[in-house]
Amino acid sequence: MSFVFAETNKGIVTISGHDREQKMRIDIAFIISILWASFLVSGCGNDKTKEKSWIFKNPANEEKVRNLQSQLLMDQTDVESRLELGKIFLSENMPKEAIGEFEKVLSFDSNRIPANLLLSLAYQKLPNPDFSKAAKILENATKLSPGNADVHLNLAQIYNKLKEDTKAINEFNRTIELSDDGATLVSAHLGLMAVYKRQGELEKAEEQYNAAYRIFPGVEDMIKQAEINRLTPAPEYRAGELSENTGWYPTLEQRIERARDEIRKVSGEKNEAH
């Protein structure tokens, strides 16, 4: 058996050939483990980069996202930046990314109602919409802010989609009790009209239509246009007609927002006249 000498802090000691081979095997195994760990870390890093390779319809949003992410690197609890980031993802039809940001906002501030509303909307925008999850989020929000008409209105609309008529009627009526906003009231009355029409309660449906009409006479044209949009494909705009470079007829949310702006304009003119 051969021996070698090794110098340590305790002096010179002898190491047998067998021990030397064992030590070499341990050293080699250690080196391999380090290389393997480095490979895994490198692989994880590449996967993460791929996950962040988003394609934006609006090029300006790409720069906004980079800036917001830079801010969040400095302060993970910046809920305003996270809300804005989630809104961009939602506008870019990236509901999963939006959900991630809105859930982080609520982990820092569970009482933030706009985050609850947006998170609920994001679940409805998934390729396979999760209306039950969206409803649960807003059911919790009604407990956090029972007097918020927007929460009740959005919850009613989800119940309407789920065809849970009794719950939808209760929430639409609660919205009407709480709100003095013309656009919100019109939306609630039209929601009730849709539920009653589905149930065959045509007299009640007409009452709700008349209530909406008294608030906003333009509601008739709005309903007609909605029916046209339902029956026919959404037309393309001519070049330059869209503020956002989508090239398609505005989404339902955009049309509703335009209707709300028109209602507010009409309501403001009436108030000035009085």
Q: Environment class of residue 171 by beta-carbon count within 10 Å: exposed (0-12), middle (13-18) or buried (19+)?
A: buried
In this structure, what token pair is assigned to residue 257?
Answer: 């927002």
Please state the pTM of the whole predicted model.
0.65
Residue written as tokens 């391999």?
32
Q: What does the chain come to in residues?
A: 274
In the chain, domain spans: 1-41, 61-131
The H or E element spanning position 272 is: helix 252-273
CA 158 to chain centroid: 15
Which helix (H) or strand (E) segment holds residue 3: the answer is: strand 3-8
Instruction: Classify domain 61-131 at the CATH superfamily level.
Output: Tetratricopeptide repeat domain (1.25.40.10)
What pLDDT tens digit does each residue of the chain (274 aa) get? 444 434 444 443 444 555 556 655 555 555 445 444 444 444 444 434 334 567 888 888 888 998 998 989 999 899 899 999 999 999 898 999 999 999 999 999 999 999 999 999 999 999 999 999 999 999 999 999 999 999 999 999 999 999 999 999 999 999 999 999 998 999 999 999 999 999 999 999 999 999 999 998 888 887 777 766 666 544 443 333 334 433 344 555 555 666 666 666 666 655 565 5
Beta bridge partners of 4: 15
**Separation of alpha carbons 157 and 193, rounded Å:** 12
Contact 85, 78 (CB under 8 A): no
Pair of tokens at residue 84 = 């804005």
Predicted local confidence at residue 221, as pLDDT: 81
Please, what is the angle between helix 182-199 and helix 252-273, to 10°?
A: 120
Burial zone of 227 (CB within 10 Å; 0-12 exposed, 13-18 middle, 19+ buried): exposed
